[in-house]
Amino acid sequence: MAGFKTILNKIFPPSETNGTNLDWKQYLLYALISLLILIFTFPKFFPEIQLGVDGSEYFAFNYLFAHHIQFGSQVVFTYGPLGFLCNPVCIGNNLLTTIILTSFIRLFFIYSFLILGYVINKAYRVLHIILVIGFCNMMYIDMAFIGGTILAVLIYHMRKEIIWIIAGCLLASLALLVKSSYGLVSVSVIYSYTIYSIFKTKRPWILIYVTLFIPFFFSFSWFLIYHNVSGMSTYFWSMYQFSKDNSNAYQLDATNHWGILFLALIFFYIPLFFTKNELTKVLYIITIAALFAAFKYSFAREEDWHQVFLFTFVIMFGAMYLLLNSNAKAFAVMMPLATIGLLYANMVMTNSYNIDDKKRITGIGNFITFVTDYNSTIKAIRQEDSITLRSKTLTPEQRALINNNTVDCYPFELGYVAANTLNWSPRPNIQTLAYTPWLDKHNAEFISSKDAPKFYIWELEQSSGYPVDNYNYSLDQHYLFNDEPQTIYNFLNHYDWDKFDKKVAIFSHSDTALLGAEHIIASGLGCLNEWMPVPAVEKDYVVRARIKFTNTFKGTLRKALYKDAIYYIQYKLQGGSTVRTYRFIPGNAVSGLWASPYCTDITNMPSGPEIESVRILVNCPGTIENLFKVEWTSFKVK
């Protein structure tokens, strides 16, 4: 370590003092260096249209922005109006907009990183450049927002220039418009600093500034996008709805090694108790809530990219720690490195992490592809998109039936909209991810309203790698009819199939009700791990079970600090020899879990074998009360 410092000092002799004053020439120099680093670490975009669940999401965000379909008023999701920045496709000017905005955000991060390093200890400016190049080579847009906010707060703390707090508030506001998790983590950094500042100075000015700037920037940006300010309250309420039941809806049953994670946490915080550097203490204080939020987000689902969120956050923290402690002893430097290593070890041992972690310096090539050769890149991407979408082309008869009428797709695949240039009219929650009764009701009311699309395209074939029971497939071993109970009832009540082949069924809107009213036929108590007989009904009737679960103290604590248990429903088919097991969303169980018959063909409802009994299981005993209330309901398919 000492030899490395000597070499750096010989190449770039340190100044005699570590002054904190910068003149305009130094600002300009660091701006130019930052621009060069931006080009050298320019990110690779993936603007090709992709099929499947995730690809349909990306297409949706781009389509919504390009066609001015408003979040809050018309759609709600975990992403926001600027969600397309995460995965732009070639719709309108979305890719160009993403390149420009992403470049400015990354440039701010790089510039702030280097300015902070200069203010603290300009003798190590080469080390600071190496750190920022290394991190930017792996940085996604999420950490550009969060890291930029942290750096703005730290620079403000040192220099007391209000422009840096304004910049942090602007970044946090924009992050809220991209994705709720990015925005909430960024906002938590700013408000953590306001609490710290009030405690230290006994003055509320920072709180006043922040409380004014964040709403102003958010509202102003919203107005620039939509030319109105309607829908913002619904947008924020939907954020809460998505966050509160996210973990029990679509988590993976990953195996974590808690000894390793606990050791990583200890190593992460050890330097806080030994450092005398005030700015390092501030860094720890303003990221406590952010680290917990990143942990919750990553472990809520715990597949590849969710795990990367926390991992990248910890790497970014480590880079900032080294920035603030460039002359620290080896022991202090090893602590964040040990944390990163242990966290990575847990990731690869969860059996749910499958990303190639090889990092390559491709920034200059990316810059040439997406900036200097932009037009030819767009042309090549559109040719590739046309090939990708061929499998989602409707037959001439199906296309003529839909014509220019409004259409939506169920359950996930939106490739049909892109492939056939359809007039998409999305339901509020654009995919079957309405995992609270409020979100489910939003979709159900839309489907029964005058704004409902004329047609629905229901994909029948398995094309995206997700479990299929003939014609009903959903995410993560869910039974599709249980995901959105209110929505599926209204769908079956207002849509009847018109044409279908082995790929898709085209459903058209019906002006007359296709289902009878749902009414209670029995009630009682159920018990975990015990079979409950399904009440017998006449032919053409469907039985559902409305269940209200109650968390124990252990379950409430586990959900608050980590994530909820995984819930299963088992179906014992007539004769008792066949048992089907599915996961389900406990929050939506109050609206009715499908109980009988066992339907696997949406074009022939309600055909299927009768279900004798059902049983509820959880993967973590003691998290919910063993006894629960059950209301058995029924409705007729006319």
Query: Token pair 């709403």 is at which residue?
Result: 215
Instruction: List the beta bridge partners of residue 541.
Output: 636
User: What architecture (CATH level 2) is domain 519-636?
Assistant: Sandwich (2.60)
144-195 confidence digits (pLDDT tens): 999 999 999 999 999 888 999 999 999 999 999 999 999 999 999 999 999 9
Q: Tell me the domain boundaries of the chain.
A: 1-244+362-392, 254-359, 393-509, 519-636
370: DSSP letter: I
| Residues of the chain where predicted confidence (pLDDT) is lower than 50 | 1-5, 7-19, 463-471
In whole angstroms, give the CA distance from residue 6 to residue 385.
53
Residue type, position 310, single letter: L
The DSSP code sequence of 92-131 is: TTHHHHHHHHHHHHHHHHHHHHHHHHHHHHGGGHHHHHHH
pLDDT of amino acid 462: 59
Name, in order, each residue with C-beta under 8 angstroms of 625's C-beta and a sequence gap of 6 or more.
549, 550, 551, 552
**Do the Cβ atoms of 320 and 151 come closer than 8 Å?**
yes
CA distances from 449 to 19, 135, 238, 410 (A): 66, 49, 20, 17
Structure tokens at 267: 């190593």
Structure tokens at 558: 């586990």
Report the helix count and the strand count for the chain, using DSSP H and E: 24, 15
Query: Token pair 């003798």 is at which residue?
Result: 123
Chain centre distance of CA 615: 31
pLDDT of amino acid 473: 57
**Do the Cβ atoms of 149 and 184 come closer than 8 Å?**
no
